[in-house]
Amino acid sequence: MDESPDERSDETPEFHIETDAIHAGQEPDADNGALMTPIYANSTYEQDGPGDHRGYEYSRTGNPTRTDLEENLAALEGGEYGRAFSSGMGAINTILNLLEAGDHVVAGDDVYGGTHRIFTQVYEDYDLEFDFVDTTDHDAVGDAMRESTELVWVETPTNPLMQVNDVGALADLAHAHDALCVVDNTFATPYLQRPLELGADVVSHSLTKYLGGHSDVVGGALITDDEELDEQIGFYQNSVGATPSPFDCFLVLRGTKTLPVRMDRHCENARTLAEWLADHDAVDEVYYPGLESHPQHELAAAQMDDFGGMLSFEFDGTLEQASTVVEETEVFTLAESLGGVESLIEQPAAMTHAAIPREERLAAGLTDGLIRVSVGVEHVADMKRDLQSAFDAALAE
């Protein structure tokens, strides 16, 4: 925040994250000097004798383009080991593969919808048990822990109300029960928050979002410092086979190079927009961890290096009027997902969270007028003008 990037990343072992983003895992080719990692479109590898290979046998198990991406992602998170997957859900599935029937999981009550779905609609059938609690309430988390609890699943900031969870405290709670603490770091990215440094055991990512950064690829990753855990993750990565294509790995590597510069602009634009919205007559509430009015602003300031590019706000109108707002914007495209260079807008009550019964949805703070935006890197003045004309159209109804 107020610290310069130099001060901020002093704890990084060798290079600052801006340098690792460009160089980690990406040596020029030893034979021909090519600067960029090639797309090794390749399924199998020559062996010098039976079983005598040069590091690669088969591309589900390992591929050089993927290796470069995995090393790059591990460096960004300040971790030893990285594994890439064909989607964020592929990564999350692999964490669940580590558990056994009868094991219990404690997760936030506002986790990503796909995470909630795989927990309850896939793995409950395999006799895993899940409790969803308010993870800002550490007593509630403590009360939910059982003898059989093997995993505490944490997201921060959360979707769409941008709740901030204390990774260090939740990791301590997990470890006191010999459970793993896994943090989905998709919203913050390692540029703003490094959960392994805060005590987490594994970091999970949807590379589809900020790390890819250009809305042109779907991918996932798991990063850890624990060699044994990484070996288990690698076993399931290879056994289940949700591995990314070399082309997808290339695209994410292209994205991570500019992660720091993109994130700086995402954060700056989001802060400017959050302040403008907070002062706006047509807006009731703004949820952005960078605002002092945010209930966990202090925690966010301590745990994160900046406050990110995601925010949501309550438009002071009906469900239909809020729908008009998201339909009328031009700079903001009406779409789910987040983290690309372009600004996106969506209405949780009518889209991502429409399946939740209205009373339940309102009780969770997801009002009819709630609008979520992924603030892109366009000029922020154009964003304000765009939102203002969409507000005007909605208010004229």
Ligand X SMILES: *Cc1c(COP(=O)(O)O)cnc(C)c1O
- Distance CA(331)–CA(49), nearest Å, equals 58
CB of 338 to ligand X, least distance (A): 6
Sign of the C-alpha dihedral, residues 172, 177, 180, 181? negative
Catalytic residue among 66, 209, 262, 361: 209
* Annotated catalytic residue 60: yes
CB-based burial label for 246 (10 Å; 0-12, 13-18, 19+): buried
Q: Which of 296, 270, 105, 259 is nearest to 185 (CA)?
A: 259
Nearer to ligand X, 75 or 218 (CB): 218
CA distance 344 to 338: 7
DSSP labels for 42-79?
-SB---SBTTB-SS-SBTTT--HHHHHHHHHHHHHTT-
Active site residue 66: no
* Shortest Å distance, C-beta 47 to ligand X: 34
Closest CB 208 distance from ligand X, rounded Å: 4
Compare residues 181 and 282 and give the one whose CB is closer to ligand X.
181
Sheet containing strand 283-287, strands side by side: 283-287, 310-315, 370-374, 344-346, 333-334
Rounded Cα distance, 386 and 222, in Å: 37
- CB 164 to ligand X: min, Å: 14
Q: Which residues bind ligand X (CB under 6 A)?
A: 87-89, 112, 114-115, 155, 184, 186-187, 206, 208-209, 218, 220
Cβ closer to ligand X: 85 or 332?
85
Catalytic residue among 112, 123, 191, 236: 112
Residue 163 CA: distances (Å) to CA of 23, 30, 102, 246? 33, 46, 30, 35
Q: How far is the CB of 86 from ligand X (least distance, A)?
A: 8
Supply the minimum distance, in Å, between the C-beta of residue 4 and ligand X: 29
Nearest-approach distance from CB 94 to ligand X, in angstroms: 12
Q: Looking at beta carbons only, is 207 or 390 nearer to ligand X? A: 207
What is 159-173 written as a DSSP string? TTT-----HHHHHHH
Cβ-Cβ contacts under 8 Å for 79 (sequence gap 6 or more): 196, 203, 223, 224, 225
Looking at 166, 184, 305, 368, which residue is catalytic?
184
Cβ-closest residue to ligand X? 88
Catalytic residue status for 209: yes
How far, in Å, CA of 324 to CA of 143, rounded?
A: 43
Q: Active site includes 83?
A: no
Q: In degrees rounded to 5, what are phi and psi of residue 284?
A: -85, -40
Among the options 8, 60, 146, 254, which is catalytic?
60
User: Cβ closer to ligand X: 56 or 288?
Assistant: 288
Q: To 5 degrees, how large is the angle CA 352–CA 108–CA 151?
A: 125
Q: Which residues of 382-396 are buried (b: 16+ CB within 10 A; e: fewer)?
A: ebbebbeebbeebee
Residues annotated as catalytic (active site), given as ranges: 60, 112, 184, 209
